[in-house]
Structure 1
Amino acid sequence: MNSGYPVILRLEGKTVVIVGGGKVAERKVTGLLGTGAEVIVVSPVASDEIQRLNRDGEIDWKQKSFSDGDIKDAFLIFAATNNLEINQLIRSSAAPHQLVTIADDPGESDFHVPAHFQRGLLSIAVSTGGASPTLAIKIREQLEEQFDDSYEDYLDFLFSKREWILKEVDNASLKRKLLKTIVSSEFLTSDNREHEFIRLYETLLNETCQ
C-alpha cells in the first residue's frame, strides 16, 4: 500500500461540497469553517447545527437528494451519507481532477482528513492512514496538552520577527543565528519577547561586527 502525501490546502474561494446532513457531515462542515471555502451541503435533511449555519449565511444548504450537477464545480467532495450506494454514486460521478473522500471507506477515497488542532498559526495534524482514527484522536489529545494556548502568541511573535529579519538583516550569518535562537524555549516562556529580541539582536550584531 502506497503512503499518503500530507499537505495543507488553501481553500479560500474554492467550492467544497458535503453530501449528507448528519453528524459526520456536520463535523466536516465545522472543520471547514474559517478556511474561506464556499461550503455547500447537499441533503434532504440536515442537523440543527447545519441548519443554523445555513441561516447565518456561513454555508449553503441545498435541501435535496444528490444529483451529478451538485458537484460540478467542487474542488473537494465529501461523501458523508449513511448510504453506501449513494456514496459510491458520488465517487463515480466525480471528474478525474476532483478529490473525493468517502466516509468510512479510506480505500476508495482520494484523501482523508487527519485528526488536527490549531494554536493560531500553528497547525498540528495526526494521521494513521485510516488504520485507526481513534488512535489518531488519542495522539492529538496528547499533543493538545503539550502545545497549549501559549503557542498562539508565540507563533504570532515568530511570524512578525521572521518577516522583519528577512527584510532588515542582510548578513546571512546573523540572519541564521536570529532565526535559530528565537525558536528556543527561552523565547517561548518569556514575558517580554520584544525586549529579549532587541537585546539578542544587539548582542549578535556586535559579535558579527567584531
Structure 2
Amino acid sequence: MNSGYPVILRLEGKRVVVVGGGKVAERKVSGLLGTGAKVVVVSPEATEEIQMLHHDGKIVWKQKPFAAGDIDDAFLIFAATNSNQLNQLIKKSIQPHQLVTLADDPADSDFYVPAHVQRGSLSIAISTGGASPTLASQIREQLEQQFDESYVGYLDFLASKRSWILNEVTNPLLKRKLLKSIVSPAFLASEHREEDFIQLYESLLTEIGE
C-alpha cells in the first residue's frame, strides 16, 4: 500500500462542498471555518449549527437533495451523508481534477482530514494511516498539552521578527544568529519578548563587532 502525501492546503476563495447535514457534516464544516474557503452544504435537512452558520452568512446551505451539478466547480468535496450508496454516487460524480473524501470509506477517498492541533500559525497533523484513529486522538491530546496556547503569541512574534530580520539585517552572520536565537525556550516563556529581542540584537551587534 502506498503511503499518503501530507500537505497543508490553502483554501481561501476556493469552493468546498459538504454533502450531508448531520453531525459528521457539521464537524467537517466546523473544521473548514477560518480557512477562507467558500463552504457550501448540500442537504435537505441540516443540524441547528449548520443552519445558524448559514443564517449568519458564514456558509451557504442548499436545502435540497444532492445532484451532480452541485459539485461542478468544487475544489474539494466531502461526502458526509449517512448513506453509503449516496456517498459512492458523489464519488462517481466528481471530475478527474477534483478531490473527494468519503466519511464512511477513508480507504476509497482521495484524501482524509487527520487529527490535528492548531495553535495560531502552528499546525500539527497526526495520522496513523487508518491503523488506529484512537491512537491518533491520544497523541493529539498529548500534543495539545505540550504545545499550549502560549504558542499562539509566540508564533506571531516569530513571524514578525523573522520578517524584520530578513528585510532589515544585511550582515549574514548576524541574520543567522538572530533567526536561531529567537527560536528558544527563553523567548517562548518570556513575557517581554520585544525588550528581550532588543537586548539580544544589541548583544549580538557587540559580539560580531558591528
- Interval of TM-score (by shorter of Structure 1 and Structure 2): over 0.9
> For residue 197 of structure 2, what is the aligned residue in structure 1?
197
Match of 1:100 in 2: 100
Give 1:208 deviation, angstroms. Answer: 1.6
Q: Relative to structure 2, which stretch is displaced further, 70-79 or 118-127?
A: 118-127
Q: Which residue of 1 aligns with 2:35?
A: 35
The alpha carbon displacement at 1:35 in A equals 0.7
Percent identity over the alignment is 72
TM-score under structure 1 length normalisation: 0.97
Q: Size of the alignment, in residue pairs?
A: 210
The CA distance in 1 between the partners of 2:122 and 2:63, in whole Å, is: 36
Matched, 1:115 2:86: no
Unaligned runs of 5+ in 1: none
CA–CA distance in structure 2, aligned partners of residues 106 and 14 of structure 1 = 23
Summarize deviations over 1:105-129 as a string: whole Å, max 9, x none.
Answer: 1111110001112111111111112
User: Could you say what secondary structure the match of 1:143 adopts?
Assistant: helix
Given that residues 117 and 143 in structure 2 are in contact (C-alpha distance below 8 angstroms), is that contact kept between their aligned partners in structure 1?
no
The runs of at least 4 consecutive aligned structure 1 residues that moved more than 6 Å come to: none
Q: For each residue in 1:78-134, what CA deviation from the matched residue of structure 2 results, as whole angstroms up to 9, or x when unmatched?
A: 000111111011001000100100013111111000111211111111111222222
Alpha-carbon distance between aligned partners in 1 of 2:141 and 2:54, rounded to the nearest angstrom: 30
Offset at 1:136? 1.2
Secondary structure of residue in 2 paired with 1:130:
coil
Q: State the distance in 2 between where 1:130 and 1:194 align.
A: 44
Partner in structure 1 of residue 142 of structure 2: 142
Partners of 2:25 and 2:128 lie apart in 1 by 21
SS at match of 1:183: coil
Residue 163 of structure 1: aligned partner: 163
Matches within 5 A, 1:1-210: 1-209=1-209
- Counterpart CA distance in 2 for 1:185 and 1:88 is 49
SS at match of 2:173: helix
How far did residue 143 of structure 1 move? 0.5
Counterpart of 1:77 in 2: which secondary structure?
strand
In structure 1, distance between residues paired with 2:76 and 2:16: 5
Contact 2:12 2:35 in 1 (8 A): yes
| CA displacement at 1:209 relative to structure 2 | 2.1
| Inter-partner Cα distance in structure 2 for 1:117 and 1:11 | 18
Hey, what's the Cα distance between the residues in 2 that align with 1:133 and 1:44? 30
Pairwise CA distance, 1:184 = 0.7
TM (norm. structure 2) is 0.97
| Kept in 1: contact 2:21–2:46 (CA 8 A) | yes
CA-to-aligned-CA distance 1:5-27 (integer Å, 9 cap, x gap): 11111111000000011110000
